């Protein structure tokens, strides 16, 4: 209902400069919010959008394009105010109905992040699988998991490939079909081979997979590296070097 109300307000004041500025602002902010590449049905395409013009600038490269949509909400709020400024009970009734559709859900799970804390990263137990300062890849990857929290709880005792420190993705990594698959794209024809290439290029020593979210990556990693070690709620595959001597099982 809100887009319909805003559209009516724009049409009603279509000859006013303010309405034209608001319409232009909504269009520009919406395009910016789409980011640097078009996403269709959850899949990132190679179609470049105008955000690519600022994507490499010092500050814009770390901005989250989706937050540009806040400006759309600001413009909509102004349009609602213009709609109500004409007066009349009917307009306030319409506004009340629109407000009801925007009422937030009372389900608290939408407003909080549930922390997942595998036992492996408690009290230095990660040392049973990883040597200090080794390079670890943890799946789920980036924003889809909590690997950065786990690295912090391990006292930053190991390095990590796959942190979530930027809203944009390096082109060199996005060119890898297996990286795109980690982010939800279809699997490449030979995923185990692609994963080995990625791990080699990134100089990964150990791959860790959350045992509660094994599919589809457990099958891929078994094909690439064989039988995993199990410890502290994680499955582990060694890519380079040898396991620590104090290896134990922490179910």
Between the CA atoms of 190, 194, 195 and 197, what dihedral angle is there, to the nearest 10 degrees?
150
Q: In which order are the strands placed within the sheet that holds 234-238?
A: 159-161, 135-139, 206-210, 234-238, 229-231
Closest listed residue to residue 139, CA positions, set 128, 129, 127, 150: 150
The Cα–Cα gap between 10 and 18 comes to 9
The Cα–Cα gap between 4 and 160 comes to 48
The Cα–Cα gap between 190 and 87 comes to 65
Closest listed residue to residue 139, CA positions, set 186, 197, 204: 204
The Cα–Cα gap between 89 and 215 comes to 56
* DSSP conformation class of 61: G
The Cα–Cα gap between 198 and 192 comes to 10
Q: Which pLDDT belongs to residue 246?
A: 61
Q: Which pLDDT belongs to residue 251?
A: 47
Q: Which pLDDT belongs to residue 78?
A: 93
Tokens of 180: 């795109």
Q: Which pLDDT belongs to residue 226?
A: 94
- The model carries a pTM of 0.63
Residue ranges of the chain with pLDDT lower than 50? 248-251
Q: Which pLDDT belongs to residue 172?
A: 78
In three-state secondary structure terms, 112 is coil
The Cα–Cα gap between 149 and 116 comes to 9
Distance of CA 43 to the CA centre of its chain: 13
């Amino acid at each position: 209902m809100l887009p319909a109300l805003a559209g009516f307000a724009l049409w009603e004041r279509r000859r006013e400069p303010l309405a034209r500025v608001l319409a232009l602002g909504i269009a520009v902010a919406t395009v910016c919010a789409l980011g640097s590449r078009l996403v269709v049905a959850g899949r990132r395409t190679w179609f470049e959008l105008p955000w690519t013009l600022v994507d490499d600038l010092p500050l814009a490269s770390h901005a989250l394009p989706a937050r540009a949509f806040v400006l759309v909400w600001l413009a909509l709020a102004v349009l609602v105010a213009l709609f109500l400024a004409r007066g009349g009970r009917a307009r306030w009734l319409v506004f009340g109905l629109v407000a009801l559709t925007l009422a937030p859900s009372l389900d608290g799970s939408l407003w909080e992040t549930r922390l997942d804390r595998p036992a492996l990263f408690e009290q230095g137990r990660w040392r049973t699988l990883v040597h200090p300062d080794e390079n670890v890849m943890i799946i789920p990857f980036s924003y889809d998991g909590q690997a950065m929290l786990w690295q912090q709880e391990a006292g930053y005792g190991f390095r990590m490939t796959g942190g979530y420190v930027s809203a944009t993705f390096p082109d060199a990594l996005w060119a890898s079909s297996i990286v795109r698959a980690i982010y939800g794209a279809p699997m490449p024809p030979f995923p185990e081979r692609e994963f080995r290439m990625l791990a080699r290029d990134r100089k990964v020593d150990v791959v860790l997979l959350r045992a509660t979210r094994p599919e589809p990556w457990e099958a891929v990693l078994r094909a690439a590296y064989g039988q995993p070690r199990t410890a502290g709620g994680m499955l582990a595959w060694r890519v380079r070097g040898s396991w620590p001597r104090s290896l134990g099982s922490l179910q």
